[in-house]
Every structure is written in C-alpha cells, then in structure tokens.
C-alpha cells in the first residue's frame, strides 16, 4: 500500500467509527455525487455552464430576456438525466438512511432527482427538481417527468408560461424546505458533506451551522475529489471518488 492509500484507508476507518457512534446523521450533497452517473458538475474552469453564461440560463433576468433559451438548456439537462442511473454513492446513502432512520436527513443541492430514484426517502431538495415545472401565472407546481417540453411550454391548468421549478441565482430557497434543512443541521451529531464545492450559499452555511449550534459540535466528514472551501471545517476527509469511498465506509461499518 502506498502512503497515500494508507492515509485514505485510515480516514475511511475513522469515518466508519464516527458514523457508528452517531445517532442523528445529516448529509449534504452536491453535483459531485452525480458525476459518476454522467452528469457534469457546475464549476468548469472556463466559467461557463455547458457553453452558457450562468446569468443567461439560471437567473430570473435570463428567463425574462429569453425563456426559449432557458427551456432549451433545461430540456437538454432533463434529457441527460433521463439517460443516467444512480451510482454506488447514491446507493450507499440509501443504505445509511435504512441504518439510521428516523435519525437521518439527506439535504441535496442537486436537481437531478437521483437520490429519490436510488431509493432515499427523507430528501430535502434545496434547489428544486428538473422534473417539476412552475406556472408563472397560477404558480401551480407539477411533476412533468423528464419528457421533452419544447421551448415555450404552457400551464395545463391556466395556459400561462411555465418555468422550471428550480431555484435560480438571486432567488430565495423554498422556506419550508430550507427550514427543515436548518433543523436537521442543528440537530445532527454528524454531518457528511459529499461532492460539493461549498461555495454557494445559503446551502454551504449548513456546514458551520452544524458545528456551531451545539456542544459538542457535530462531527463533519467531507467526501470530495479535492479539498474545498469546507475542508477547513472537516474533522475527517475522504478524498477520492464518492462512488468508491462511501461503499468502503459502509463496508467497514458492516452496513
């Protein structure tokens, strides 16, 4: 075993021990957990999001300016999600939930729905879901699956224009979802942070919140390909692919 492998194995064992000693577990996931399923993450080095500027496709202003472009972008993302499957990292979190339920909450920034597809139940989707539409007129939210919706989809109830039910930049998170995420972060004794660069707030603020809101502070485990903004807060660092590391942690726990 190389020194790096030995260090990683030590952290896997520490993570397994910390989880085994926990009773209330919260998990915060980001795009990295779906990367091994084939969904690209957000922060590419060119600052573009699949060839688009973020302000053109993921802000209310962008939608007002060019709703057709926004729908083209989201229809492409919907079509991509329709072709992918959950990976071993999503599946590991399903097994963790079965082990800890009801003391388990999964908070995700992802809009791909893969946690539920994998079988996770107590899932808080902070940024919405690609399968859902929201009417700009009557505000009705509907699950439209992943069928293509065209460049100008209309509300089936009132005929007004639809938008994706996604939280865009400059928008508030849905308060009923956010409040539950805050409760879970404040109540947990262990927070597992998987595949997020931890730069988008308020989601990233759940990490210090879990630590600061009680004594003793929650143990923070980070699982990511690389160190992130959250690494300074992490007690245990699992650096590598989530789809490989999380199943290893569970194996150590005998779960």
| Site for ligand OAD contains 30 (CB under 6 A) | yes
Number of residues that bind ligand OAD (CB under 6 A): 23
Query: Which residue's C-beta sits nearest to ligand OAD?
Result: 32
Q: Cβ distance 187 to 206 under 8 Å?
A: no
| 10 touches ligand OAD by CB under 6 A | no
**Binding letters toward ligand OAD, positions 69-108, x by CB under 6 A:** ----------------------------------------
Instruction: Show the CA angle centred on residue 195, arms to residues 39 and 166, nearest 5°.
Output: 60
* CB nearer to ligand OAD: pick between 97 and 125: 125
* Stretch touching ligand OAD by CB under 6 A, among 99-107, 174-182, 211-219, 222-230: 222-230
- Looking at the Cβ atoms of 36 and 97, the one nearer to ligand OAD is 36
Angle between helices 242-253 and 3-20 (to 10 degrees): 60
- Catalytic residue check, 127: yes
**What does the alpha-carbon distance between residue 69 and residue 62 come to, in Å, rounded to a whole number?**
9
Q: Does 35 bind ligand OAD (CB under 6 A)?
A: yes
Site for ligand OAD, residues 148 to 187, rule: CB under 6 A: 167
Residue 139, CA distances (Å) to 51, 63, 98, 113, 134 in order: 30, 16, 35, 21, 6
Residue from 15, 32, 39, 222 that binds ligand OAD (CB under 6 A)? Answer: 32
Task: Name which position in 13, 17, 24, 41 contacts ligand OAD (CB under 6 A).
Answer: 41
The one among 24, 42, 134, 247 contacting ligand OAD by CB under 6 A: 42
Of the pair 153, 164, the CB lying nearest ligand OAD is at 164
The residue within the footprint of ligand OAD, chosen from 14, 16, 18, 36 (CB under 6 A), is 36
Q: Which of these segments, 14-22, 95-103, 177-185, 189-197, binds ligand OAD (CB under 6 A)? A: 189-197
Task: Catalogue the active-site residues.
Answer: 127
What residue ranges bind ligand OAD (CB under 6 A)?
Answer: 30-32, 35-36, 41-43, 58, 109, 127, 167, 195-197, 200, 223-226, 228, 241-242
């Amino acid at each position: 075993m190389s020194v790096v492998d030995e260090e990683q194995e030590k952290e896997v064992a520490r993570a397994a021990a910390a989880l085994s000693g926990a009773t209330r577990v919260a998990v915060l996931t980001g795009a990295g957990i779906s990367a091994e399923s084939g969904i690209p993450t957000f922060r590419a080095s060119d600052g573009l999001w699949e060839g688009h500027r973020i302000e053109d496709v993921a802000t209310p202003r962008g939608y007002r300016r060019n709703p057709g472009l926004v729908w083209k972008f989201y229809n492409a993302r919907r079509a991509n999600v329709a072709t992918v499957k959950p990976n071993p990292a999503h599946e590991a979190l399903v097994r963790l939930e079965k082990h800890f339920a009801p003391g388990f909450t999964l908070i995700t920034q992802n809009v791909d729905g893969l946690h539920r597809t994998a079988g996770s139940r107590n899932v808080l989707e902070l940024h919405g879901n690609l399968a859902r539409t929201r009417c700009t007129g009557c505000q009705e939210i509907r699950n439209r699956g992943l069928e293509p919706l065209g460049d100008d989809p209309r509300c089936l109830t009132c005929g007004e224009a639809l938008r994706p039910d996604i939280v865009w930049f400059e928008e508030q998170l849905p308060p009923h979802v956010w409040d539950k995420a805050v409760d879970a972060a404040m109540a947990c004794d262990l927070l597992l942070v998987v595949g997020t660069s931890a730069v988008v707030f308020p989601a990233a603020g759940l990490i210090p919140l879990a630590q600061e809101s009680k004594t003793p502070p929650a143990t923070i485990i980070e699982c990511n390909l690389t160190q992130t903004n959250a690494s300074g807060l992490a007690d245990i660092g699992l650096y590598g692919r989530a789809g490989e590391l999380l199943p290893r942690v569970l194996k150590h726990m005998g779960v």
